Amino acid sequence: MDDNNNELRKEDLVFGLDIGSSKINLFAGAMNPDNTVKILCCGALPLKRPDELDDVVETLQNVIRQLEPFIDFDVRDVYVGIAGNHVSSVNYKGLITLSTGEVREVDMERVKNLASTIPETAGQILHVFPGEYTLDEQGGIRNPKGLNGRRLGVDVQVVTSPSNVILNLDKSVTRAGLHVEELVLEPLAAASAVLTDDERELGVALIDIGAGSADIAVFVGESVRYTTSLDYAGNSITSDISKCLKVPISLAKAEDIKKRYGTCRMSNLIEDETFPVPSVGDRGDVQCSRKLLAQVITARVYEIFKRLKEDLEKQHMDGLLNGGIVLTGGCCALEGIDAVAEKVFGKSVRIGHPRDVAGVQSYSNPSYATGIGLLLYAAKQRRKEKRRETGKQISVSMKKSLQWFRDFVKTYF
């Protein structure tokens, strides 16, 4: 944490809040004069009962308290992540006739709005990601501005969430004394922390393997082509361990064993390597095989990737991933998890560590990707606001000078 923040201004602060299934991370950042963001500090605590409102609120309040010594201002407007398993992502199409015979920005806006006019029952819209445009018979156009044609079409990916999910998330954040500035799809946030521009350009899938879910998002260029989520991940690995070792053990103990002795890389294990597991009652430790543990873990990891792969194939997304696959989230700590993914997907895979943020060195663990990504997203929105304000100021001063010119003309001519 950085405690040299004497010249911090309230309006420069931005906050990213990741309420995961296993932990809460709250990142505080400050906008630099060059419009980049600097991480100031992070509050982080495990979340024991993510489904219980009171537990979420109490844990969040404690996390907020952790930030107090590092910033003089109250935490207030936060960008909050919403997990992939709480959203649905559907592809819609829009088609309009071009009144001027040329594509203007306003036409691109109009066709996007038309495509994202969805029934109320579909839930609340979180994001609208425009894909490629069509102009008359020509498809696959990324930016049609200025081109001539008669009919403009667009594919959009609309991400929605049921109203009650949004209400409950908002309730827990509000009760802890904060205000939700915007809800952001978690893999979208994580992507801004870990993906490179060339990966996006080539087409890449980001897989965030957390505790409760494995979220996937496909990026091609500027657009998000597809998002989906599998409702099991690290917690299921833990639950398998608790059932499949020589002795039955509690989930808490299984979680500890997973972190201490777990791996997906069996080739690194010494033959007959064992680890001690306390047996139930007071009967002393039982020795368990690390190879068996690795087999249990790898089987579940394999299944997670296989399900995601099948889904990508069903959606015809697998052919878009020339930039490969990037893994992030807490489960990336499992040694060899990238090799398992490579085997399943048949593509190049790397672990995505948060990068490119000043002060980030101590937060390079993939489990911070969503929180840091939310901070980067917040900074991007702040830049947009500033640009809009500067635009307004320019037009106000233009108005003022026009008025001055008119008055001058009236007076002297």
Point out which residues bind ligand ATP (CB under 6 A). Answer: 20-23, 83, 210-213, 233-235, 238, 255, 258-259, 262, 329-331, 333-334, 367
d(CA 199, CA 201): 5
Which parts of 178-265 are beta strand (E)?
A: 179-185, 204-209, 214-220, 223-230
3-state secondary structure of 218: strand
- Min CB(231)–ligand ATP separation in Å: 9
For residues 35 and 390, is the Cβ–Cβ distance under 8 A? Answer: no
For residues 173 and 60, is the Cβ–Cβ distance under 8 A? Answer: yes
Q: Which is nearer to ligand ATP, 64 or 82 (CB)?
A: 82
Q: Out of Mg ion, ligand ATP, none, which partner does residue 259 contact, by CB within 5 to 8 A per kind? A: ligand ATP
Q: Which is nearer to ligand ATP, 203 or 330 (CB)?
A: 330
Q: Which is nearer to ligand ATP, 134 or 370 (CB)?
A: 370
Q: Out of ligand ATP, Mg ion, none, which partner does residue 166 contact, by CB within 5 to 8 A per kind? A: none
Q: Which is nearer to Mg ion, 116 or 192 (CB)?
A: 192
In the chain the first and final C-alpha atoms are separated, in Å, by: 65
d(CA 108, CA 49): 45
d(CA 156, CA 137): 18
Residue 70's nearest CA partner among 32, 11, 13 is 13
Helix (H) or strand (E) holding 27: strand 23-31
3-state secondary structure of 155: strand
Q: Which is nearer to ligand ATP, 30 or 207 (CB)?
A: 207
- Min CB(234)–ligand ATP separation in Å: 2
d(CA 236, CA 175): 30
Q: Out of ligand ATP, Mg ion, none, which partner does residue 315 contact, by CB within 5 to 8 A per kind? A: none
DSSP 277-297: EEPSTT--EEEEEHHHHHHHH
Residue 89's nearest CA partner among 119, 113, 125 is 125
Q: Which is nearer to ligand ATP, 149 or 329 (CB)?
A: 329
Q: Where are the alpha helices (DSSP H) in 2-104?
A: 53-67
Q: Out of ligand ATP, Mg ion, none, which partner does residue 352 contact, by CB within 5 to 8 A per kind? A: none
d(CA 24, CA 392): 38
Q: Does 187 bind Mg ion (CB under 5 A)?
A: no
C-beta neighbour count of 122 within 10 angstroms: 14
Q: Out of Mg ion, ligand ATP, none, which partner does residue 253 contact, by CB within 5 to 8 A per kind? A: none
Q: Which is nearer to ligand ATP, 144 or 210 (CB)?
A: 210
- Min CB(209)–ligand ATP separation in Å: 7
- Min CB(255)–ligand ATP separation in Å: 6
Q: Out of ligand ATP, Mg ion, none, which partner does residue 211 contact, by CB within 5 to 8 A per kind? A: ligand ATP
- Min CB(296)–Mg ion separation in Å: 23
- Min CB(354)–ligand ATP separation in Å: 12
Q: Which is nearer to ligand ATP, 267 or 411 (CB)?
A: 267
CA quadruple 332, 329, 218, 309: dihedral, nearest 10: 50
Residue 296's nearest CA partner among 328, 329, 261 is 261
Span interacting with Mg ion, options 61-69, 103-111, 210-218, 394-402, rule CB under 5 A: 210-218
- Which tokens in the block code for residue 172? 């827990």
- Find the binding residues for Mg ion in span 349-388 (CB under 5 A): 370
Q: Out of Mg ion, ligand ATP, none, which partner does residue 71 contact, by CB within 5 to 8 A per kind? A: none
- Min CB(373)–Mg ion separation in Å: 10
Q: Does 20 bind Mg ion (CB under 5 A)?
A: yes
Q: Which is nearer to ligand ATP, 131 or 234 (CB)?
A: 234
- Burial bucket for residue 343 (CB in 10 Å: 0-12, 13-18, 19+): exposed
- Min CB(59)–ligand ATP separation in Å: 12
Give how many residues touch Mg ion by CB under 5 A: 3
Q: Among residues 84, 187, 210, 234, which is the contact residue for Mg ion, using CB under 5 A?
A: 210
Q: Which is nearer to ligand ATP, 155 or 338 (CB)?
A: 338
Distances (CA, A) of 382 to 8, 180, 187, 386: 16, 15, 20, 6
- Min CB(366)–Mg ion separation in Å: 10
- Give residues in contact with Mg ion (CB under 5 A): 20, 210, 370
